[in-house]
Structure 1
Amino acid sequence: MEAEEQQRVAALERYMTSLAAINPSWSDLDKPEASDSFSERLQLEYCPTKRPEVLRSSGSIFSSPEEQDERRPREVVEIHSSPGFGRYLVASRNIAAGEVVFREAPLVVAPKAGSGASCLSCLRSLQGSEWVGCDQCGAPLCGQDCGGDGHSQEECRLLVPLGLKDQPQNTVLIKQLSVLLTPIRTILLMKEVPAAREVIAALQSHAEERRTLPIGRFVDEHVAKVLRTRLSLPVASDIVQHLCGIFDTNAFEFSDGDIRGRALLPGGALMNHSCTPNTQHWYRNGVMTVRAVVDIPEGAPVTNTYTNTLWGTRARGAHLSTSKLFTCRCERCLDPTELGSHISSVLCRGCSDGLLPPPSDCRADWECQACGKIVSASAIETLLRAGGVALGRLPIGDAAAVAAALSQFRRVLGNAHYIVVELKYALIQALMATPLEGLTEDDLLKVLDLTSDLLRLADLLEPGLSRFRGILLLERCRAGVQLLQRRGVANCDTTPALTTGGNQLNSSHSVHTVQTVEDLSRQLEECAFILHYDARHDDVIEVKQQIKSLN
């Protein structure tokens, strides 16, 4: 068994080395050259136009990503293995916050299992009857001349017996197709590209543990059996279990405009989980870019989060145990205050300003830190369950409805609970999604208040150059520019304090100070660096132009 594990690690090491060995400049990714090496075979045979790389740059934190890309890339990560953590990436040298750690193109992309119609060639989400069926198999396409290359001839041939040719709009068949595509595409790749087969086989699947769970029985009945009997694909159930487990354990969900799905990226999958990760990733134009959000010292694990960092510990734990089959024991998960954020704590109804942090035993009573009041676990569970149901029914895009819900939940759960945090963020998005000219000054001041509040939370739970921080800074700058335009104080060194009275949306702040142009320019510089690979980078450029016009 140890020899087999060494072989798997060796295969993954060759793969990671190949990413650095290709070593092109980013502008030359569409110029592959012939080679017999592992990396060249894998990239040329499967993904000839998107060549991944491992990068190391040496510039300052705010040197532009274009400047970083011009530097000669060097490998900065290596694979370690241990019984407790399995295989994982560590920094082979110091990595500075903001550096690109590696880029990687996926080996396999497919729609999310159980999703609606997606174009099989480009994975664009399809709505209503705006799409057509493939001439041969009837599978969804955004057009016969889509231009994507995801729907191969061999895949088309396999899908003919599914019956979509006669029922192209059958939603049941389309959902079944989304479940089947992941193993189908992986099997076809492994058959066509031996180098990819070696890497995929080396990934963790948890197949044995999954087999006794509902997911394992589902895979046997609705995936493996259908592949063999209906599509005549001769594949053993154990292989299908392994492939589905690999995707569920390792794949990344991505969204790139209206293109959505799951991608298998072996390099990215080797990053260990952390509830306060030191990297984040962006997926654009078919390539995932992984960047350090804080300094990563040599020898430290390179981490990603497998869940939502803005959920409470129990919500994160439930997700990790069911989807990834492990229990996180990081510093944050072991701290009832969650690094001082109190994002899982509930407001005490006895003293009105104390908090009840969750006990380590989910069946134990909750106790107020201030007055010692005891509340039963069942009462808290009922409260939170009701809150979750109400949140799920809320029209998130309706600013008035979100504001009302935020006021109500704040009184019940307190200012820090993760349901309240989600509502704060939803209110920012709802307000800023409308034309800014239609917002009142009070609306814009609410955005400044809420972004200040959430930026303090980001410093605790998503420290550094996180996407969450970048988006908060962007909305803060957009609101600030709009206020300066209205007040006509762009050329002042300072701006007056504006008092709006008792603001229900932020009980701890009733006096708001509009920022100066210098404040906004400084915040927008950081925002632009954080969101360079994000779809909202164009919004940052627009705000920059607005600030220039103020001057």
Structure 2
Amino acid sequence: MAESEKTCAECNEPAELMCSACKLVSYCSKEHQKEHWKTHKSLCKPFEIQTTSDKGKCLVATRDLSPNDQIICDYPIVFGPRPHVVEEGPVPCPGCCRLIIAESAPRCEGCDWPVCNPNCPGLKDVNKHAHECYILGLRPTKAQKNLHNFYRQDALLTLRILLFQKRNQKKWQQILEMESHMDKRGEGTDTYKHVQERIVKYIQENFVTPLRDIGKQTGQELLLDDSDETIQKICGIIDVNSMEINQDAELSALYPTAYLMEHSCICNTYHVFDDEDQNYKITVRAALPIKKGDHITTMYTHALWGTQARREHLMETKYFECSCPRCSDPTELGTYLSALRCLGTENEPCGGTQLPIDPLDYKTEWACDKCKVKVNNAEVAMLVNQIGEEVDQIQLSKPTVKELNEMLKKVLTFLHPHHYHVYSLKHSLVQLYGYQQGYMPNQISDELLLEKAEMCRDLLETTRKIDPGNSRLCLYTAVLLHELHLANVYYIKRKWHTEDKEVLARLFREAKRSLEDAKKVLEHETTCAAGEKLRHLVESSEKDANKWINNHSEEVNELLEQIKESLNV
């Protein structure tokens, strides 16, 4: 409908306002928008909640959705510091969840807890710290002396939820309706024992017991249900349904609708958190085209893990086995992210690729596509885990280009060139070429520039297959696009008067498109510090490239005229 043809859904008069959520109806005034809401609200949401036998409650699209269409806008029911299991180091401020050094931090006047600032707004907010402040002050003196004890026990979020049963019955019921999977983590399981010792016992001794004593003295119960079973259930709900937020703080949050999004290793949504006023609103948008009737999905694990690692993580933390198209495909959609090199017979390697016969079977054998050699899954897991530990170790040690190349050569003896551990090493390498001493722009060889560019292209191809909507790997993709641009630009500057013009044209077009794509990819990263930093880098590189082009405008224009057809100008 043309702009001039829009009419108010309430009175049919010309309208300029539009429903910001669905963009399907217009209004002449905010008053008519409010009046029409009773009719429109059931149509506005682009999803409905359904229950299936295999997935339980889930969200299903009620109309076709295009990329970037808004699906959900939720404020958290509750949020709190993300579980910390370290004995030392920073702890979260109970008011805002920002990490602080407890030993040198100021204290909350009410409960004497370490805080980021005595004037932290969250300390006086009844929806954050203010309500729990008195209860935190009840902990015995012995517990108060150990500043890390509380956070090591991961108890604050659990306690906040426990207090809802008297303070906010609506939120209490909302949370209790969420899946806890107590049938899989109940009494007798290792998880139950771990939670009992780590959280339940701590809450009972430090907070529930003092609250019971106060209740006896005042004749008023402060907790309706403080049983071990209820606390266990709350812990299960947090583990299964909470979303992690890492934006100037580390916290977990439970959302009233977003928690219903099911998992897929190729998900069709992306989400951002708005930490304005530290309320952590989540906005979920379509990352890919979603057809009416499609399930609305997100991803509960890391997109750059292999199938075995992803499925094991999902089973251990979310209690289900993923059988999505990526997990079901031995090649992981043609990426070979989990594939091994076949070591062949005793004489020499056959050059084949080792893949799982049935990736959904934890006991599957891995077969070579060239010879008859087979390896059992346990042996593969042991090898991949060992290599993973070595790769993680070198990544954390601020390695040199030489060290990364040596590790890359070593792992390629066992892993396919597209394996996810190889991806990790290559992604680090492209960020060192052009930056590390000995490989600075004026030092790196032509051959390495071409190798860097080819490495970027190879990694981008893999990334696009496993994250086609740029929903999970925006930063990885943007880094690769930026580094591809730089590699091409450095090479063009060097070879401007000697290289074949057709080659330069191809590199020039790719460099230009890479920066444009990087800016587009980073549109999803609106509140991430790393995304903001990368945006500045991209803008800076664009200015540098434009400056060089302006200084060579006559030659550049001549080149563009010569190859206008190949550039699609």
Q: Say yes or no: TM over 0.5.
A: yes
Q: 2:70–2:286: 8 Å Cα contact kept in structure 1?
A: yes
Q: Does 1:290 align with 2:284?
A: yes
Counting aligned pairs with the same residue, the percent is 26
Q: Kindly report which structure 2 residues correspond to 1:26-45, keeping only aligned pairs within 5 A, or say none.
A: none
* Aligned mate of 1:480, from 485, 488, 495: 485
Q: Deviations over 1:413-448 (max 9, x none)?
A: 121222222323343456688799945545765553
Q: 1:279–1:294: 8 Å Cα contact kept in structure 2?
A: yes
In the aligned structure 1, how far is the partner of 2:113 from the partner of 2:285?
A: 36
Cα distance, 1:513 vs structure 2: 4.5
Partner of 2:136: 159
SS at match of 2:92: coil
Partner of 2:538: 543
* Aligned mate of 2:21, from 42, 52, 55: 55
Residue identity matched to 2:65: I
In the aligned structure 1, how far is the partner of 2:70 from the partner of 2:194?
A: 39
Q: Does 1:220 align with 2:196?
A: yes
Cα RMSD of the aligned pairs, angstroms, is 3.4
Residue identity matched to 1:156: C
In the aligned structure 1, how far is the partner of 2:455 from the partner of 2:197?
A: 48
Partner of 1:324: 318
- Identify if the C-alpha distance between structure 1 residues 541 and 145 changes in structure 2 by more than 3 Å, giving closer, same or farther: same
* Aligned mate of 2:465, from 460, 463, 474: 460
SS at match of 2:138: helix
- Identify if the C-alpha distance between structure 1 residues 426 and 281 changes in structure 2 by more than 3 Å, giving closer, same or farther: farther
Q: Kindly report which structure 2 residues correspond to 1:124-523, keeping only aligned pairs within 5 A, or say none.
A: 124-127=98-101, 129-148=103-122, 149=125, 151-163=128-140, 167=144, 170-176=147-153, 179-212=154-187, 213-232=189-208, 233=211, 234=223, 235-256=226-247, 258-285=248-275, 286-350=280-344, 351-360=349-358, 361-396=361-396, 397-400=398-401, 401-428=403-430, 438=440, 440-441=443-444, 447-469=452-474, 471-478=476-483, 480-481=485-486, 484=489, 487-488=492-493, 513=507, 518-523=512-517
SS at match of 1:140: coil
Q: 1:112–1:262: 8 Å Cα contact kept in structure 2?
A: yes
In the aligned structure 2, how far is the partner of 1:182 from the partner of 1:392?
A: 31
* Aligned mate of 1:88, from 33, 54, 58: 58
- Identify if the C-alpha distance between structure 1 residues 230 and 93 changes in structure 2 by more than 3 Å, giving closer, same or farther: same
Q: Deviations over 1:391-419 (max 9, x none)?
A: 23224342433343223212321212222
Rg comparison, structure with higher value: 2
SS at match of 1:133: coil
Partner of 1:35: none
Q: 1:102–1:291: 8 Å Cα contact kept in structure 2?
A: yes
Q: 1:100–1:290: 8 Å Cα contact kept in structure 2?
A: yes
Partner of 2:49: 79
- Identify if the C-alpha distance between structure 1 residues 480 and 300 changes in structure 2 by more than 3 Å, giving closer, same or farther: same
- Identify if the C-alpha distance between structure 1 residues 525 and 107 changes in structure 2 by more than 3 Å, giving closer, same or farther: same
Residue identity matched to 2:341: L
Q: Deviations over 1:228-285 (max 9, x none)?
A: 33213441122212211111110011100x3111111131110011111111222231
Partner of 1:117: 91
**Greater displacement, 356-365 / 448-457:** 356-365
Cα distance, 1:151 vs structure 2: 4.8
- Identify if the C-alpha distance between structure 1 residues 293 and 130 changes in structure 2 by more than 3 Å, giving closer, same or farther: farther
Count of residues in Structure 1 that have an aligned counterpart in Structure 2: 470
In the aligned structure 2, how far is the partner of 1:301 from the partner of 1:365?
A: 32
In the aligned structure 1, how far is the partner of 2:535 from the partner of 2:166?
A: 45
- Identify if the C-alpha distance between structure 1 residues 340 and 479 changes in structure 2 by more than 3 Å, giving closer, same or farther: closer
SS at match of 2:470: coil
In the aligned structure 1, how far is the partner of 2:70 from the partner of 2:303?
A: 21
- Identify if the C-alpha distance between structure 1 residues 297 and 133 changes in structure 2 by more than 3 Å, giving closer, same or farther: same
Cα distance, 1:138 vs structure 2: 2.7
- Identify if the C-alpha distance between structure 1 residues 121 and 352 changes in structure 2 by more than 3 Å, giving closer, same or farther: farther
- Identify if the C-alpha distance between structure 1 residues 544 and 114 changes in structure 2 by more than 3 Å, giving closer, same or farther: closer
Q: 2:269–2:285: 8 Å Cα contact kept in structure 1?
A: yes
Cα distance, 1:163 vs structure 2: 4.5
SS at match of 1:79: strand
Q: Deviations over 1:130-182 (max 9, x none)?
A: 42332332322112122334752331211123357985563334412xx1111
In the aligned structure 2, how far is the partner of 1:204 from the partner of 1:121?
A: 28
SS at match of 1:344: coil
Q: 2:519–2:535: 8 Å Cα contact kept in structure 1?
A: no
**Greater displacement, 291-300 / 113-122:** 113-122
In the aligned structure 2, how far is the partner of 1:389 from the partner of 1:261?
A: 27
Partner of 1:98: 68
Q: 2:92–2:99: 8 Å Cα contact kept in structure 1?
A: yes
Cα distance, 1:205 vs structure 2: 1.0
Q: 1:480–1:515: 8 Å Cα contact kept in structure 2?
A: no
Cα distance, 1:549 vs structure 2: 5.0
Q: 2:267–2:297: 8 Å Cα contact kept in structure 1?
A: yes
Q: 1:95–1:297: 8 Å Cα contact kept in structure 2?
A: yes
- Identify if the C-alpha distance between structure 1 residues 404 and 268 changes in structure 2 by more than 3 Å, giving closer, same or farther: farther
In the aligned structure 1, how far is the partner of 2:264 from the partner of 2:468?
A: 12
- Identify if the C-alpha distance between structure 1 residues 447 and 261 changes in structure 2 by more than 3 Å, giving closer, same or farther: farther
Residue identity matched to 1:217: K
Residue identity matched to 1:255: N
In the aligned structure 2, how far is the partner of 1:305 from the partner of 1:514?
A: 36
Q: 2:61–2:290: 8 Å Cα contact kept in structure 1?
A: yes
Which structure 1 residue ranges, 5 or more long, are not aligned?
A: 1-52, 59-71, 499-511
Q: Deviations over 1:171-216 (max 9, x none)?
A: 334412xx11111111234432232223212111112321132222
**Greater displacement, 484-493 / 319-328:** 484-493
Q: 1:474–1:527: 8 Å Cα contact kept in structure 2?
A: no
- Identify if the C-alpha distance between structure 1 residues 201 and 491 changes in structure 2 by more than 3 Å, giving closer, same or farther: farther
In the aligned structure 2, how far is the partner of 1:435 from the partner of 1:107?
A: 50
**Greater displacement, 439-448 / 207-216:** 439-448
